[in-house]
Amino acid sequence: MDFFAKSGSSAKQRTGCAIVGVYTKGQLTQAAEELDKLGNGLISDLCKHGDFSGEAGSTLLLPSPAKMPCSRLMLVGLGDKAKLDKRTLVKALQEGMKAVSRTGAGDAISYLTHGTESLLGPRYAGRLTADAWHKASYRFLAHRTGPKPPAIKLKRLGIGMDTRSAATAALRGAEEGSAITQGMALTQDLANTAANVCTPSHLAREAQKLAKAHKSLSTEVLGPAEIHKLKMGAFQSVARGTEEPARLIVIKHRGAAASEAPIVLVGKGITFDSGGISLKPPLAMDEMKFDMNGAASVIGTMRAVALLELPINVVAVIPSCENMPSGRATKPGDIITSMSGKTIEILNTDAEGRLILCDALTYARRFKPSTIVDVATLTGACVIALGPFLTGLMSNDDGLTEELLAAGKRAGDEAWHLPLAKDYEDTLKSNFADFSNMGTREGGALIAAAFLSKFTKGQRWAHLDIAGTAWKSGTQKGSTGRPVPLLVDFLLTRAGF
């Protein structure tokens, strides 16, 4: 999408489609009011006669509105003016973008954020407009051979703002949003791809392809022999039951001096999780192709970082394998030795994500990072606790916690701070090894984080459990692209933007 920004009156801007907000009770936004005057009260009459209610998220397309400088007029409901908040405005943006994507307009200008600086600020207005367009226009058609949905004709999308300075800031935000959504699209494409196609080797090739497309990126891929040489016994134990070779993928973004400590992002890359010997029930097992969403979101974040040319160093570490049952698979009761030298008793082979992550976290130390953030579809317990709305956040550093919470709130990709306490770590005691990979059933998300914390001593570290937010089920089944917006906002702030 080609984004642009305009300042001044909506009555003077020629466009294929003007998108304006309307409140309930017939109240109009400034942009709607300006066009209403040109149209001899067309919009206000529609509201007066009950043809458009202004209910939040509702839309109405008016083709060829008389005397207006737009070929089409899209009305979008903003709800009660006195109760307008960021959530309602975001909903209106998303519904407005969906509606305009179904028209034949080649260009459009959205005035939905016009005059809303107190709610969003112009920069975030631009970013959220780009995000709304992505959600409206994203399609995954890689495996389809039959008829495809009609192509979206909209190629240019403008953001109407009050002043020239606000328009400049909104355009900057839209450019940031465009980079973020390109990262989200890559994340979604990888996660939505069938597991027989998106193997660890496929992820590695996509990472290499990404590095070739961006000068600031470089990629290194380690195979089973190198992983064995590194003594990554925990990682190897998960990969033992599958025919697909494991891959340790490292992507580096060099945006600052080599002496500057990088931020390391670690992404869980289980490309299919059967549970191993502790086999999962068959219901919805097909969704376990999404168990590599942590890896996909980290790769997508690196794409956005490269597009934005952030002046910081960022390293992505992605352990990737399948978790499958076979005669060679790790068994409950087995004891393995992690890269750190700590021994782990395997009580449940379906608690595999923490095993590949613990070796990746140990490996990440070699980069002498300023910060480590791991991202994983780690526990069903987090889904039970927070549902599909909030990502679970646990950290050993209060300052880092606040940074990530604030980034998520700004980006509309929110997280919730969960505790990290010694009591949860104590549930991992083992009679035969240094500790086990499972604790009690209660507090499962917190126990998983406590397990990972054993491998992050002395590091400034945070863990994002995205099991509830990484994908949707049912008729909307597919990757959401989260938490790319949160991660990129965090990195933008670290970069000084």
pLDDT digits (tens, 9 = 90+) for 323-363: 999 999 999 999 999 999 999 999 999 999 999 999 999 99
Q: Which of 140, 273, 250, 139 is nearest to 195 (CA)?
A: 273
Q: Are residue 34 and residue 123 in the same domain, yes or no?
A: yes
Query: Does residue 169 lie in a domain region?
Result: no
Q: How many other β-carbons are positioned within 10 Å of the β-carbon of residue 8?
A: 14
With b for 16 or more beta-carbon neighbours within 10 A and e for fewer, the 243-276 pattern comes to: ebbbbbbbbbbbbeeeeeebbbbbbbbbbbbbbb
Give tens-digit pLDDT for 408-433: 999 999 999 999 999 999 999 999 99
Q: Are residue 214 and residue 101 in the same domain, yes or no?
A: no
Please determine, for residue 168, whether its predicted confidence score (pLDDT) is greater than 80: yes
Residue 280 annotated to the active site: yes
Residue 48 annotated to the active site: no
Q: Are residue 97 and residue 206 in the same domain, yes or no?
A: no
Q: Are residue 488 and residue 448 in the same domain, yes or no?
A: yes
Please determine, for residue 146, whether its predicted confidence score (pLDDT) is greater than 80: yes
Q: Which of 302, 305, 243 is nearest to 493 (CA)?
A: 305
**CATH number of the domain where residue 269 is located:** 3.40.630.10
Q: What pLDDT does 454 receive?
A: 97
Across 229-240, average pLDDT: 98
Q: What pLDDT does 49 receive?
A: 93
Give tens-digit pLDDT for 209-230: 999 999 999 999 999 999 999 9
Name the band, by pLDDT with cuts 50, 70 and 90, for residue 65: confident
Please determine, for residue 133, whether its predicted confidence score (pLDDT) is greater than 80: yes
What percentage of the chain's residues is helix, strand, coil (to nearest 5)? Answer: 40, 20, 40
Please determine, for residue 119, whether its predicted confidence score (pLDDT) is greater than 90: no
Q: What is the dihedral of CA 404, 446, 235, 233, to 10 degrees?
A: 130
Query: Does residue 423 lie in a domain region?
Result: yes
Give tens-digit pLDDT for 270-304: 999 999 999 999 999 999 999 999 999 999 999 99
Q: What pLDDT does 2 receive?
A: 96
Q: Are residue 114 and residue 223 in the same domain, yes or no?
A: no
Across 53-66, average pLDDT: 93
Give tens-digit pLDDT for 178-195: 999 999 999 999 999 999
Q: What is the dihedral of CA 473, 285, 187, 1, to 10 degrees?
A: -40
Query: Does residue 167 lie in a domain region?
Result: no
Please determine, for residue 378, whether its predicted confidence score (pLDDT) is greater than 80: yes
Q: What pLDDT does 159 receive?
A: 97
Task: Between 19 and 145, name the one with better pLDDT.
Answer: 19
- In angstroms, the CA 411 to CA 492 distance is 11
Q: Are residue 89 and residue 201 in the same domain, yes or no?
A: no
Q: Do residues 303 and 182 make contact, with C-beta atoms less than 8 angstroms apart?
A: yes
Q: Are residue 76 and residue 207 in the same domain, yes or no?
A: no
Q: For 368-391, give the secondary structure using H, E and C.
A: CCCEEEEEECCCHHHHHHHCCCCE
- In angstroms, the CA 445 to CA 288 distance is 18
Give tens-digit pLDDT for 250-259: 999 999 999 9
Q: Do residues 170 and 113 make contact, with C-beta atoms less than 8 angstroms apart?
A: yes
Q: Are residue 157 and residue 190 in the same domain, yes or no?
A: no
- The domain tally of the chain equals 2
For a pLDDT cut of 70, what percent of the chain falls above it? 100
Q: Are residue 109 and residue 231 in the same domain, yes or no?
A: no
Q: Are residue 104 and residue 189 in the same domain, yes or no?
A: no
Query: Does residue 175 lie in a domain region?
Result: no
Determine the straight-line distance between the first and last CA of the chain, rounded to whole angstroms: 23
Query: Does residue 179 lie in a domain region?
Result: no
Query: Does residue 59 lie in a domain region?
Result: yes
Q: What pLDDT does 120 receive?
A: 84
- In angstroms, the CA 380 to CA 238 distance is 19
Q: What pLDDT does 144 receive?
A: 87
Q: What pLDDT does 98 receive?
A: 97
For a pLDDT cut of 90, what percent of the chain falls above it? 94
Query: Does residue 248 lie in a domain region?
Result: yes
Query: Does residue 234 lie in a domain region?
Result: yes
- In angstroms, the CA 268 to CA 74 distance is 42
Q: What pLDDT does 397 receive?
A: 97
Antiparallel, parallel or unpaired: β 18-23 and 59-63: unpaired
Using DSSP, state whether 365 is helix, strand or coil. helix
Please determine, for residue 116, whether its predicted confidence score (pLDDT) is greater than 90: no
Q: How many other β-carbons are positioned within 10 Å of the β-carbon of residue 398?
A: 9
Q: Are residue 91 and residue 214 in the same domain, yes or no?
A: no
Q: Which of 6, 123, 240, 354 is catalytic?
A: 354
Q: Are residue 313 and residue 462 in the same domain, yes or no?
A: yes
Q: Which of 128, 135, 115, 102 is nearest to 3 (CA)?
A: 128
Please determine, for residue 118, whether its predicted confidence score (pLDDT) is greater than 90: no
Across 5-31, average pLDDT: 95
Residue 50: exposure state from Cβ atoms within 10 A (0-12, 13-18, ≥19): exposed
Q: Which of 280, 365, 460, 472 is catalytic?
A: 280
Q: What pLDDT does 147 receive?
A: 85
User: Which of 161, 194, 225 is where one domain is finished?
Assistant: 161
Containing structural domain, residue 96: 2-142+150-161
- In angstroms, the CA 285 to CA 289 distance is 8
**CATH number of the domain where residue 154 is located:** 3.40.220.10
Q: What pLDDT does 104 receive?
A: 95
Q: Which of 347, 332, 290 is nearest to 469 (CA)?
A: 290
